[in-house]
Structure 1
Amino acid sequence: MKILIYGAGVIGSYLTHVLCAAGNDVTLLARGGWRETLEQSGLTIYHHLQKKVTRDRPRVIGALDREHYDLVFVVMQYQQMAAVLDDLGRVDSSIVVLVGNNMSAGEMERHIRNCSAAPQRVLFGFQGTGGRREAERVVCVRFGEAGMTVGGLHKELSLVEKRRLRSAFAGTKYRLTWAADMDAWYKCHLAFILPIVYLSYALNCNLKRATERQIKTGLRAVREGYELLKALGYPILPENTIEKLYGFQGGLSYAVLQIMAKTAIGELAATDHCRSAVAELEALEKAFAALREQRPDFPMPNWDALRKAMPDWQALYLSYGK
């Protein structure tokens, strides 16, 4: 299949690697010095947990071309997506998948369709990988072969869409998980990650300093975020998520978070992103705050305590510059 990856950060790079491994004709859109590195040396990824290095040679472009693509994956930070929506409306592909945190999914879907001369299916996805980009390579953290949760805004994918996606990843162990309401899924994911973001920033992006009390406060804050979404009428996705925060399963969740916080996994999965994506995380927090305004009296004491403990956004820009 002929596939375009629009965005060559950590997540887009691993997605490119998997699609190349599946034998697809992959084009990667990248800009600046990173584009030059990719053109000269190819895409080099160090897979941290697997302790291996891979090198791929996708076709690299610096701007959208007139080629036809069977699939387009757009992998950019949330606040950067708006700037490329007109491009996506003009891309020659019947299926466009927006990958990553997205609190404006409905607006983006409408914009792309309004710009498109031909009918386009706009899908939404989230890939469970982390890491950082270095000068000459990407460092990727993933469990197993990783995968993507993907679906429509408020609907299950069609058989044609599922078949196209399965074909793209055929022959790999990359997992595709179908979701029938990605709008709700994104909101639930944000309720999970924002307390971790707050804690990371409060600890100067060093989760190894997190105490037992702070980690437990984080888990309670996640519960509060989910309960707010339930009160607003959103389903909690994936299913059985809330059960993992109480009783025995809650204890396991605490243990997992503690292990992540005290090892390099926490750095690659959480704090590296906090350092490199201040603008994205501020935009996502503002979007979640808008949800809270619909229920201003809903109690979230643990959430608020974590938020109060972190520096303000201006200070974070001064510290990390992004």
Structure 2
Amino acid sequence: MKILIVGAGAIGGYFGGRLLEKGEDVTFLVREGRKKKLQQTGLKIQSKYGDLQLQPKLITKKEQSPPFDVVLVSTKSYQLADAIEDIQPFTGPNTMILPLLNGISHLQPLVRAFGEERVIGGLCFVETTLAEDGTIVQTSPVHQLIYGERTGKKTERIEKLEQAFSGTKAEFIKSDNINQEMWHKYLFITAMSGITSMMESPIGPIRDLETGRRTIQVLLQELAAIMEKMGAPIQPGIADTQLSRIESMAAGMKSSMQRDIEKLQPTEAEHLQGYLLARAKELEIPVPVLEIIYTKLKLYEQKINTDK
């Protein structure tokens, strides 16, 4: 299959690099500056699962190419509108769009742009960051990419995608219930990113405090209550399940949102916490912890925008 990876950052660069390492036909859609840099240095990955230095195929939005079979989108939510515009020329009627964004609300603009049938479901669990020299540094024991038809059907195209994804040094997992997987990830990442960003701390010191653990627990319950009232396909008791998962994480684990804040970068607060807060208001569900977190994040965004 012809695979297009939008960007060569921490997420797309890592999973695209693992596919390229296996020998798949992978191209990266990048900005002109990033293209020049990668042509000089190659795509470098530093990982506990093996370091890589590759010379990938690169393309910019100004260039032309036949349609790709699948386009993997791993941008931040605030970059999505530009990404949709950039990939339009590289898609055809049979191109699968595989988004790895956190949350749920990104599906609507993708479906509007490409149609219901072409957008499949996806998410990932991996801790990666982009070093100052452009190296992708992957540190977590988990490096999973989960994908599947949002209808839950077993289709020929998903079977072909499974063949392309199999045999890599990262875990590519096909799911027959990807909608539920995406909602469960949404619950987890909204809590994890919100609590670590608000407390300005890795997860360990927060949960070690009785008050910190209780705050995490209440936040998870608030988020699950919103999702249940929305009719989201979440499992009963998922808040407790995600609390156990947070309790089992390495003490030094930070969320990507927290790392972005430390770098004075924009956040996905509106896409993650903001979307659920808006639904809570519509449904008249009290969510005091979520409101505090959202307020903290919005004040941060106002500050960095003022300082620009």
Q: What range is the shorter-chain TM-score in?
A: 0.7 to 0.9
> How far apart are residue 22 of structure 1 and its match?
2.2
- Flag the 1:225–1:320 CA change in 2: closer, same or farther, 3 A: farther
> How far apart are residue 124 of structure 1 and its match?
2.5
> How far apart are residue 318 of structure 1 and its match?
5.5
CA contact 2:129–2:136 (8 Å) conserved in 1:
yes
Equivalent residue, structure 1, for 2:67: 68
> How far apart are residue 28 of structure 1 and its match?
0.8
Matches within 5 A, 1:90-169: 90-93=89-92, 94=94, 95-101=96-102, 102-113=104-115, 121-136=118-133, 137-144=135-142, 146-153=143-150, 155-169=151-165
> How far apart are residue 294 of structure 1 and its match?
2.3
- Flag the 1:206–1:220 CA change in 2: closer, same or farther, 3 A: same
Matches within 5 A, 1:2-41: 2-41=2-41
SS of the equivalent of 1:36 reads helix
SS of the equivalent of 1:135 reads coil
CA contact 1:197–1:274 (8 Å) conserved in 2:
no
> How far apart are residue 96 of structure 1 and its match?
2.0
Equivalent residue, structure 2, for 1:117: none
Amino acid at match of 2:190: L
Distance 1:79 1:160 in 2: 33
CA contact 2:274–2:294 (8 Å) conserved in 1:
no
SS of the equivalent of 1:283 reads helix
Distance 1:108 1:58 in 2: 26
Amino acid at match of 1:91: F
> How far apart are residue 135 of structure 1 and its match?
2.6
Q: Deviations over 1:150-191 (max 9, x none)?
A: 2344x1144212212112113225231314453x64444333
SS of the equivalent of 1:66 reads coil
CA contact 1:244–1:253 (8 Å) conserved in 2:
yes
Q: What is the RMSD computed on CA atoms of the aligned residues?
A: 3.0
Equivalent residue, structure 2, for 1:57: 55
Equivalent residue, structure 1, for 2:187: 191
How many residue pairs end up in the alignment?
Answer: 299
SS of the equivalent of 1:236 reads coil
Distance 1:243 1:290 in 2: 24
Stretches of 4+ moved more than 6 A in 1?
none
Amino acid at match of 2:100: V
SS of the equivalent of 1:168 reads helix
SS of the equivalent of 1:291 reads helix
Q: Deviations over 1:222-253 (max 9, x none)?
A: 1221122112211216x8734525xxxx5x43
> How far apart are residue 44 of structure 1 and its match?
0.6
SS of the equivalent of 2:71 reads strand
> How far apart are residue 5 of structure 1 and its match?
0.7
Aligned match for 2:225, one of 224, 227, 243: 227
| 1:214 equivalenced with 2:219 (yes/no) | no
> How far apart are residue 36 of structure 1 and its match?
2.1
> How far apart are residue 77 of structure 1 and its match?
0.9
| 1:253 equivalenced with 2:232 (yes/no) | no
Q: Deviations over 1:76-131 (max 9, x none)?
A: 111211223244343244222122124131332122239xxxxx622131121122
Structure 2: gaps of 5 or more residues? none
Structure 1: gaps of 5 or more residues? 115-119
SS of the equivalent of 1:190 reads helix
| 1:202 equivalenced with 2:225 (yes/no) | no
> How far apart are residue 275 of structure 1 and its match?
4.1
- Flag the 1:224–1:268 CA change in 2: closer, same or farther, 3 A: closer
- Flag the 1:215–1:65 CA change in 2: closer, same or farther, 3 A: farther
Equivalent residue, structure 1, for 2:274: 286
CA contact 1:77–1:280 (8 Å) conserved in 2:
yes
> How far apart are residue 14 of structure 1 and its match?
0.9
Distance 2:233 2:58 in 1: 40
Identical amino acids, percent of aligned pairs:
19
TM-score by length of 1: 0.79
Amino acid at match of 1:134: A
- Flag the 1:203–1:22 CA change in 2: closer, same or farther, 3 A: same
- Flag the 1:41–1:310 CA change in 2: closer, same or farther, 3 A: closer
Distance 1:196 1:320 in 2: 27
